[in-house]
Amino acid sequence: MGYKTYRLPLPTPLRTAHGCWNVREGIIVRLEDEIGRVGYGEVAPIPWFGTESLEEADRICRELGDSVTDEILDAVPQRFGCVRFALAAARDRGASPFPERRLPVAALLPPGRAGLKKLPKKLAAGFLAFKWKVGVGEVNSEIAMMDDLLAMMPASGRLRLDANGAWSHRLAARWCERCVGRPIEFIEQPIPPADEDGLRGLAKEYPVPIALDESTVHLQDMQRWHSRGWTGIYVVKPSLAGPLDELQRVVDELSLDVVLSSAIETTIGLRAVLAEALRGRLTKRALGAGRGEIFGQRVFDGPPLGPFLDEAWLVSANPEGVWNALN
């Protein structure tokens, strides 16, 4: 097994309620079997979401060594979901074929007025689902801008609001009241994950769908929320949760309503997620993968992703190119 760490600046920093994200760090792993077949995986942790740290992931990769077996890889503890995702993806090697189908993609809009400027271009490209970061600016201004966004969208358009847990319960209730009867697909993580009773209360009190994100980073989180009666939406970043086949089993067994979301991975991690989405039954909702050229380099961003994902994007993506581009 080989691995390389990376540290890639984001030309346009990603602003969320968690702060300003300027640099993406992670690890690319490479596995080659005895007959020369090569597979790649990506460790893309987000520690403030509750994943392992980059330092912990690097230590595990170092301890695994150059020569590994399936038994050794399977023994990586469950709490290291990002590492387990990467190793499983590298072992998969994309062997199974892709079905002839297309899945809709949601475009990411930057917070504030930058979102208003970007929306017309995304509409012209054919996108109908959009994710807009909120909880970043002053509330009255953001609500007014939401009204402007909705006024610009066609009747078939849908808007997702992502607060990243920034609101108080009172403020979240205000947003929910404003969104009733409007084309809001869901409000994502309106209040902090620690306020579980508050999240359940919002879901019961308002007809606007509520989605969990930071609350359900790991597969065990999804199972726990389901066991306690959550019937809402789960926004899942598969590259944080663990091996994709395990995620598929949990979704199937519990009949979860899932949205798949990017964790700002390179081509390697994103391709693994989108390939599983195209092959399986993980979601019926638009994929949260329309982030644009976030790294500003085609080798790391992958081919341009339009309003629909199909086999052509997956075939054009070049994992080996990412590996070769890293020192």
pLDDT tens string 228-250: 999 999 999 999 999 999 999 99
How many whole angstroms separate alpha carbon 170 and alpha carbon 168?
5
pLDDT over 70 (residue 139): yes
Alpha-helix runs per DSSP H in 50-138:
54-64, 70-74, 81-92, 113-125
Of the segments 8-22, 58-72, 258-272, which one has the largest average pLDDT value? 258-272
pLDDT over 80 (residue 17): no
pLDDT over 90 (residue 327): no
Q: What is the CA angle 100-102-106, rounded to 5?
A: 160
How many whole angstroms separate alpha carbon 51 and alpha carbon 44?
9
Cβ pair 189, 162 in contact under 8 A: yes
Cβ pair 186, 233 in contact under 8 A: yes
What domains appear along the chain, each with residue ranges and CATH number?
2-92 (3.30.390.10), 103-320 (3.20.20.120)
How many whole angstroms separate alpha carbon 289 and alpha carbon 310?
13
CA neighbor of 295 nearest in space, from 321, 260, 258: 321
Catalytic annotation, residues: 133, 237
What is the arithmetic mean of pLDDT over 46-61?
94
What is the arithmetic mean of pLDDT over 2-22?
89
Q: Say which residues have a Cβ less than 8 Å from residue 77's Cβ, sequence separation at least 6.
A: none
Find residue 162's DSSP bridge partners: 133, 188
DSSP label of 182: S
- How far CA 194 is from CA of 215, 216, 234, in Å, comes to 8, 11, 16
- How far CA 321 is from CA of 29, 60, 152, 226, 318, in Å, comes to 13, 24, 39, 40, 5
How many whole angstroms separate alpha carbon 238 and alpha carbon 260?
7
How many whole angstroms separate alpha carbon 173 and alpha carbon 23?
33
pLDDT over 80 (residue 30): yes
DSSP label of 257: E
Q: Which helix (H) or strand (E) holds 6?
A: strand 2-16
Q: pLDDT grade, residue 95 (50/70/90)? A: low
How many whole angstroms separate alpha carbon 132 and alpha carbon 262?
14
pLDDT for the residue 227: 97
Cβ pair 27, 43 in contact under 8 A: yes
- Residue 82, CB half-sphere, CA atoms under 13 Å: how many? 30
DSSP label of 110: P
DSSP percent split of the chain into helix, strand, coil, nearest 5? 40, 25, 35
Cβ pair 113, 145 in contact under 8 A: yes
What is the arithmetic mean of pLDDT over 182-191?
97
Q: What is the CA angle 296-298-299, rounded to 5?
A: 115
Characterize the bridge pairing of strands 308-309 and 287-290: unpaired
Mean pLDDT of the chain: 93
Q: Say which residues have a Cβ less than 8 Å from residue 80's Cβ, sequence separation at least 6.
A: 52, 56, 57, 60
pLDDT for the residue 18: 76
pLDDT for the residue 234: 98
What is the arithmetic mean of pLDDT over 115-133?
96
CB atoms near residue 237 (< 10 Å): 27
